[in-house]
């Protein structure tokens, strides 16, 4: 009599049966108690410390996971607080600004060619100041006989601002772009990209900290942009973007446009809308991204999307936020909206709705981007570099993105900013802006 028994062999990390035939002795066979050796380690796979493979014998997994989570969260919260100061309930509190001078005062006379703006190529707060300079014609050549260095009227790459060196025709207000690289900056992140020919034309500084420290020796604080300086008097004017927007709009020099972004009859409405947009949208995305508690995050998300829904409804009835002509409120909203899908929706966890889900806001965004300013050395389309912004946020805000991996999109081209907006027949300046000339 023959009996068939089954033995086991190890093959490729798994047990496979092997049948063999042998004489039956009539005895019951004892089960095999020989331990199956573990599979050979794959040297091509990095498992870190392999903690989850041995944790239960040395330390219960529940304690291991709880301890690592607590330590990781403490380290993360500490880094976020350094980057973005917090209230006791885990809500982001934006620091105040130290320089609040005004062009037009006795200390800072309104003169063509006297002032210089330092603007970060990825920064929405810098972007709003640049927009005013473009719309007001402050980037027109101060010598009417000069020929603009002429970026194309519509940027096809969104990268015109990145390569701006401050050279070319002299304009009423000059500016230099900075790149965000905290590994090169001595404080903060803004440095001059000397490799692309961008240098500091006022002090010859290497980074923005050196500008602050030279103009205000012993400066202590954050070296933020935008920063407007008096290049002749070698003094800082202001580093508060809201003040810069208002004062640059009021700066009227020969050869500038007649655009008025804050006409007197709309000023109360503009101020009220500005406050709402700043708290809930401009700063709202940062409050979302830098929140360190769930309750703080949930509160600002409700607030932000409530205001975005309100703005979407408002734009269903008018071309711009306060009627058929744009105002300062539009200028202050645009930098956040144009970065929203490419940056904030992901890294700041603002993903409940994208701008693409708001048809009126999306059309308004394209309408703003396509505005033309005759004679300007920079157009609205050249004031934003979406791909540089994505790179800056995802690589430098490392507490929010420890891997440093940059998502593949949306890119500048994905946003289709040059597509028809369907919100008006003309993008000419005189058709979309209020004039200070009666």
As annotated, the active-site residues are 123, 286
- Tell me the DSSP string of 155-222: -SSS-TGGG--S-SS-BSEEEEEEEE-TTT-SSSSEE--GGGT---TTT--SBHHHHHHHHSTT--S-
Distances (CA, A) of 367 to 141, 358, 417, 420: 26, 14, 8, 8
The C-alpha angle 400, 128, 302, rounded to 5 degrees, equals: 50
> CB burial class (10 A; 0-12, 13-18, 19+) of residue 66?
exposed
CA pair distance 395, 338, nearest whole angstrom: 19
Contacts of 432 (CB under 8 A, 6+ apart): 319, 320, 325, 326, 371, 424, 426
Q: What six digits make up the tokens of 323?
A: 């009627």
Q: What six digits make up the tokens of 299?
A: 């509160």
**DSSP state, residue 9:** E
Q: How many CA atoms lie within 13 A of 387 on its CB side?
A: 13
């Amino acid at each position: 009599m023959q009996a068939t028994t089954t033995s086991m062999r190890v093959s490729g990390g798994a047990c496979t049966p092997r049948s063999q035939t042998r004489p039956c002795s009539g005895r019951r066979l004892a089960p095999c108690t020989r331990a199956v050796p573990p599979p050979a380690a794959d040297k091509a796979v990095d498992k870190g410390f392999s903690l989850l493979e041995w944790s239960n014998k040395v330390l219960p997994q529940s304690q291991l996971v709880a301890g690592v989570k607590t330590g990781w969260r403490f380290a993360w919260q500490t880094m976020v607080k350094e980057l973005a100061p917090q209230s006791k309930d885990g809500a982001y509190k934006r620091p105040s600004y130290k320089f609040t001078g005004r062009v037009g005062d006795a200390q800072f006379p309104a003169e063509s060619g006297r002032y210089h703006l330092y603007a970060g190529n990825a920064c929405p707060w810098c972007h709003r100041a640049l927009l005013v300079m473009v719309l007001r014609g402050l980037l027109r050549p101060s010598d009417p006989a000069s020929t603009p260095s002429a970026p194309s009227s519509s940027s096809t790459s969104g990268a015109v601002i990145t390569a701006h060196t401050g050279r070319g025709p002299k304009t009423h207000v000059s500016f230099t772009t900075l790149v965000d690289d905290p590994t090169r900056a001595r404080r903060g992140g803004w440095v001059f990209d000397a490799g692309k020919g961008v240098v500091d034309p006022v002090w010859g500084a290497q980074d923005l900290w050196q500008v602050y420290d030279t103009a205000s020796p012993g400066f202590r604080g954050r070296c933020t942009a935008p920063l407007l300086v008096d290049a002749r008097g070698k003094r800082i004017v202001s580093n508060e973007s809201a003040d810069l927007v208002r004062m640059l709009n009021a700066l009227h020099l020969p050869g500038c446009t007649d655009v008025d972004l804050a006409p007197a009859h709309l000023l109360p409405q503009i101020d009220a809308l500005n406050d709402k947009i700043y708290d809930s949208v401009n700063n709202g995305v940062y409050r979302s991204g830098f929140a360190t508690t769930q309750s703080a995050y949930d509160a600002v998300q409700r607030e932000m999307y409530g205001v975005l829904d309100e703005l979407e409804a408002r734009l269903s009835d008018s071309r711009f936020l306060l009627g058929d002509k744009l105002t300062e409120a539009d200028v202050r909203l645009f930098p956040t909206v144009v970065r929203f899908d490419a940056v904030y929706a992901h890294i700041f966890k603002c993903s409940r709705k994208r701008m693409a889900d708001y048809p009126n806001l999306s059309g308004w965004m394209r309408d703003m981007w396509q505005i033309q300013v005759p004679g300007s050395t920079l157009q609205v389309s050249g004031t934003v570099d979406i791909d540089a912004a994505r790179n800056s946020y995802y690589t430098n805000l490392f507490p929010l993105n420890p891997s440093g991996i940059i998502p593949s999109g949306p890119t500048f081209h994905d946003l289709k900013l040059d597509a028809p907006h369907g919100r008006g027949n003309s993008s000419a300046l005189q058709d979309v802006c209020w004039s200070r000339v009666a």
